[in-house]
A and B are shown apart, each in its own frame.
Chain A
Amino acid sequence: MTSLLIIAVIVLLGIAIWQLTKIFDLTQVGSKPNDISSEIANDKDNNVNGYLTFAFLGFIYVFTIFCLVEYGSFPLMSDAASEHGEKVDFLMWISMGLIFVVQIFTQFLLHYFAFKGRGVKGRKALYFSDNDKLEAIWTIIPVITLSGLILYGLFAWNDIMFVDEKEDVLVVEVYAKQFGWDVRYSGTDNTLGKANVRFIEGINVVGVDMSDPNAADDKMAKELHLPLGKKVVMKFRSQDVLHSAYFPHFRAQMNCVPGMVTQFAFTPTITTEDMRSRDAMIKKVNNINNIRADRSQELIANGHEALDPYTFDYLLLCNKICGASHYNMQMKVVVETPEEFESWLSELPTLKEQVAAEKGTNVPVVEEKVEEASEAVAQL
């Protein structure tokens, strides 16, 4: 099927080239074989290409409209699920609106002038080499608009990035490794126990220093649950290579860097349930499920299993190239009411309990290794 498609495309290309050459050849009947004027644009070329330039302007506009109609529902520019996300979206709309207008306007000027000024033999162009007023206008206008954008952007940036941890916040560690995520909740003391990769052992996959008292109530999870309306301060670590924790629906992203702790804070404002029931989301999910149903039919016809139907969930995905399976490094994120969150969290065992349970099965080996690890860290 694909090879047929490729052959068809190649044949069509051949015909297109042949036809186009003929059209262009018609514009220069009567030129002599070694006269280079046939390779330099003449009035007919100027005319044809002038009109094509104008047509290309039309193409840009039509293609823009086509993309807006067909793909306009893709961009995440509304329904941000975090408090600061609304600010980001607002700035995005302003910037998008601005560049859209500038794009439409300047492309028009460029292509229209090219069309209008298409060469005619004997005409002289306008000798116009300088105009300080004009130069000043298009220096000052960008300065003013950009100042506005910069100012708004910087205030928003400062709000987002500078976190006051004395507020009532929830501290969570998001831990990255090839190719998955782990979550560590800081427990009732809201302080994460110290950690280093040198403490990694068995169930203690993120290398928590179990001798640190703050680590006593830390809890590990494979899903990131967040309470609605509470500021979450995320501490990011990575054990191997660079990863990037990307939460598109929350307009949040931060790299996970081995050897250091990075952070990002946001307040979730829409629960998973609530998000699922929004009109735009229902439409999106239906659309995705239609596509999946179509593909499933193809798959079944080829003897494969059908695809599961899709329900919406917030996601954490890796957005920094991290190795072969980078494209499948994800974790489910759930936003729920504080009560639901508390009851979910309370059912999790603490890491200490888990480690103890594991130790119960093979005591000697583990203790030895933990000692080694503490020594190694102490030496550093």
Chain B
Amino acid sequence: MSAVGHEINLDHSHDHHDKGNFFTKYVFSLDHKMIAKQYLITGIVMGIIGIAMSLLFRMQIAWPEESFTLFKWLLGDKMAPDGVMKNDAYLALVTMHGTIMVFFVLTAGLSGTFSNLLIPLQIGARDMASGFLNMLSYWLFFISAVLMVISLFVEGGPASSGWTVYPPLSALPQAIPGSGMGMTLWLVSMAIFIASSLMGSLNYVATVINLRTKGMSMTRLPLTVWALFVTAIIGIVSFPVLLSAALLLLFDRSFGTSFFLSDIYLAGEVLHYQGGSPVLYEHLFWFLGHPEVYIVILPAMGITSEVIACNARKPIFGYRAMIASILGIAFLSTIVWGHHMFVSGMNPFLGSVFTFTTLLIAIPSAVKAFNYITTIWSGNIQMNPSMLFCIGFVSTFITGGLTGIILGDSTLDINVHDTYFVIAHFHLVMGISALYGMFAGIYHWFPKMFGRMMNKNLGYIHFWVTAVCAYGVFFPMHFIGLAGLPRRYYSNTAFPLFDEFYDVNVLITVFALVGSAFQLVFLWNFFVSIFYGKKATQNPWRGNTLEWTTPVEHIHGNWPGELPVVYRWPYDYSKPGLPEDYAPQNMPYMEGEEQLNH
């Protein structure tokens, strides 16, 4: 199949790229570069919604039950009568923030964008293995995003049982208003999302395996492609399990089955459910849920590997160790899910096993962090905005990753489980880090995507304010988490014990508001640069990878003539004896040049 795809694309490359109308070019495009842009823009729009939600509930936490005109405008009378946020509206916002950020921004927005953009370009392919499947994947994602947004407006409000939607809360509309129509839409949207994600992932894997250009061996693949490739494999392994959980939950909700429900007395009556267990759902959910955080973070690591090497003008340190750690993380990620369930009531023996596997995953993660630091060491660092975001990535990945040692230890998890300590941990290690990776990718490959440059100075402002605010928001949360403050509390006023946290909650919210406001700088920079940015040159960052050998103007088929042939690995930066401080992968070895084992 790969060979056929190759031939067809080759024929098309010379004469086909400017044919077609608006619809085939911009809407139902089969071109991976256009699909990447579609993913990115959709991701950004969802990101705006998701972050805006977090600001609303942060305001409620800082100034509990106060009336804001903003709430009245944005939430309406149903969710915020007289501008005071209702408690179930708070839970709805928390739930949708989590769902949107994890799935729609950091999964589809991040790996959807960069897998589509970079896999064919960096391996020297004319397009994905199946352009049609690729288009289908985007449009299913789009439909699921639209459904998720529609669910915000239905009777009873959107899903409100946390982004993990544990039954019975998510199964029984009597338990919380959001478990009515909103929850059904949530499940349907997720099912479609998973279909989209699987189509995408299968396509990425097929492309990487089959369509590498001549000379592009697996040990010459850029680490971005390695990361995206392994991400796709994790997705294929784990997403179907979530699909089964979602379908079974749908059955419990709509057809009266008892997969996850048993012995329930609610609203004055005994319900008929018998024999199911919510713990089963937790297992199914976290079998995806934990690999999911690596689906989010691996693409960011891949982007960081590439951008750090390019901007430090140094080879990435320990290329093989980096690949080994990606594979190690991928394997371990599928056998650690139980650390989300230490106090779920599962057999304590399982707790011991999952503690063991969980702490093992710290090892490849540590290797990665140290390799990044060594790559930066003694470099000639070009402080482009993308590079700053990569340094920021390593910084937050370390800060957030270290607390994983505490949460992964079942003994310690008992007391910090589901507190703000967890919020601080995962927002730093996968939320902020992955966003930094995404920003780094956008700043770095913007010239490739849109043929123009983003404004550097706005990029600097964006990074520095974001960096300070991200620490300001999440670092203090460790302290209130260790003090025992549970997450998903609408207000802390019911516990005088927590009155101490009044000031710190205000501080966190102010940092969040300022940090988010400065994302507007990014949005401005992004959208204005698409139309008015300075025209990019072919290889503005002097990178080695193949995408910088394609013309600035996008053509269907990527390279106007023959496909490039690869002679070397992608990290020959500052190699002694070469005239330039970089050596593109398609540059043959010079006479007498030392040959690496790649």
For residue A338, CB closer than 8 A to chain B, the reply is no
CB within 8 Å of B: which of A38-64?
38-41, 45-46, 48-50, 52-53, 56, 59-60, 63-64
> Are A126 and B574 in contact (CB-based, < 8 A)?
yes
**What's the least CB distance linking A132 to chain B, in Å?**
9
Chain A residues, Cβ within 8 Å of B514: 9, 13
Chain A residues, Cβ within 8 Å of B86: 324
CB within 8 Å of A: which of B473-493?
475-476, 478-480, 482-484, 486, 488-492
Within 8 Å by CB of B384, from A41, A150, A207, lies: A41
Chain B residues, Cβ within 8 Å of A71: 476, 479-480, 504
CB within 8 Å of A: which of B68-88?
68-69, 86-88
> Are A292 and B499 in contact (CB-based, < 8 A)?
yes
> Are B534 and A284 in contact (CB-based, < 8 A)?
no
> Are B343 and A117 in contact (CB-based, < 8 A)?
no
The CA-CA distance from A111 to B162 in the complex, in Å, is 37
For residue A356, CB closer than 8 A to chain B, the reply is no
Interface residues on B, range: 35 or more
For residue B464, CB closer than 8 A to chain A, the reply is yes
**What's the least CB distance linking A189 to chain B, in Å?**
24
Within 8 Å by CB of A240, from B175, B379, B576, lies: B175
For residue A198, CB closer than 8 A to chain B, the reply is yes
> Are A40 and B456 in contact (CB-based, < 8 A)?
yes
> Are A246 and B460 in contact (CB-based, < 8 A)?
no
Interface size on A, residues (CB 8 A): 137
Within 8 Å by CB of A20, from B362, B381, B461, B499, lies: B461
**What's the least CB distance linking A190 to chain B, in Å?**
22
**What's the least CB distance linking A5 to chain B, in Å?**
9
> Are A106 and B369 in contact (CB-based, < 8 A)?
yes
For residue A186, CB closer than 8 A to chain B, the reply is no
The CA-CA distance from A154 to B376 in the complex, in Å, is 37
CB within 8 Å of A: which of B270-318?
270, 274-279, 312-318
**What's the least CB distance linking B179 to chain A, in Å?**
9
Known contacts A53-B391, A74-B480, A124-B313; is-contact A251 B415 (Cβ 8 Å): yes
For residue A282, CB closer than 8 A to chain B, the reply is no
The CA-CA distance from A240 to B175 in the complex, in Å, is 8
> Are A41 and B395 in contact (CB-based, < 8 A)?
no
> Are A13 and B348 in contact (CB-based, < 8 A)?
no
Within 8 Å by CB of B264, from A48, A123, A249, A258, lies: A258
> Are A107 and B418 in contact (CB-based, < 8 A)?
no
> Are A259 and B363 in contact (CB-based, < 8 A)?
no
CB within 8 Å of A: which of B353-376?
355-356, 359-360, 362-363, 366-367, 369-374, 376
For residue A360, CB closer than 8 A to chain B, the reply is no
Chain B residues, Cβ within 8 Å of A60: 395, 471
Known contacts A39-B456, A64-B475, A319-B419; is-contact A158 B319 (Cβ 8 Å): no
The CA-CA distance from A135 to B322 in the complex, in Å, is 10
Within 8 Å by CB of B453, from A39, A99, A262, A315, lies: A39
For residue A139, CB closer than 8 A to chain B, the reply is yes
Chain B residues, Cβ within 8 Å of A98: 405
**What's the least CB distance linking A257 to chain B, in Å?**
5
**What's the least CB distance linking A54 to chain B, in Å?**
11
> Are A160 and B414 in contact (CB-based, < 8 A)?
yes
Chain A residues, Cβ within 8 Å of B167: 241
Question: CB-defined interface of A108-127 with B at 8 Å, one 1/0 digit per residue?
Answer: 01110110011110011111
For residue A146, CB closer than 8 A to chain B, the reply is yes
**What's the least CB distance linking A123 to chain B, in Å?**
5
Question: CB-defined interface of B306-337 with A at 8 Å, one 1/0 digit per residue?
Answer: 00000011111111110000000000000000
Besides A20-B460, A106-B373, A125-B314, 20 other A-B contacts (C-beta < 8 A): A45-B384, A46-B382, A48-B383, A59-B468, A67-B478, A76-B482, A98-B405, A113-B378, A119-B313, A124-B581, A126-B378, A130-B317, A130-B318, A131-B318, A240-B172, A251-B415, A257-B277, A258-B264, A308-B496, A327-B492
Could you list 20 A-B pairs, sorted by A, with CB under 8 Å? A24-B456, A41-B383, A113-B378, A124-B380, A124-B581, A135-B318, A135-B371, A142-B363, A142-B366, A146-B360, A149-B359, A150-B356, A160-B411, A161-B351, A240-B264, A241-B169, A320-B166, A323-B91, A327-B488, A327-B489
Interface residues of B (CB under 8 A from A): 63, 66, 68-69, 86-88, 91, 161-162, 166-169, 172, 175-177, 261-266, 270, 274-279, 312-321, 343-345, 348, 351-352, 355-356, 359-360, 362-363, 366-367, 369-374, 376-384, 387-388, 391, 394-395, 398-399, 402-403, 405-406, 409-412, 414-415, 417-419, 453-458, 460-461, 464, 467-468, 471-472, 475-476, 478-480, 482-484, 486, 488-492, 494-497, 499-504, 513-514, 517-518, 521, 533-537, 540-541, 571, 573-576, 581, 596
Interface residues of A (CB under 8 A from B): 2-3, 9-10, 13, 17, 20-21, 24-25, 33-36, 38-41, 45-46, 48-50, 52-53, 56, 59-60, 63-64, 67, 70-72, 74-77, 87-88, 91-92, 95-96, 98-99, 102-103, 106-107, 109-111, 113-114, 117-120, 123-131, 134-135, 138-139, 142-143, 146, 149-150, 153-154, 156-158, 160-162, 177-178, 196-198, 200, 207, 236, 239-242, 244, 246, 248-249, 251-255, 257-260, 262, 284, 287-288, 291-292, 295, 307-308, 310, 312, 315, 317-328, 330, 376, 380
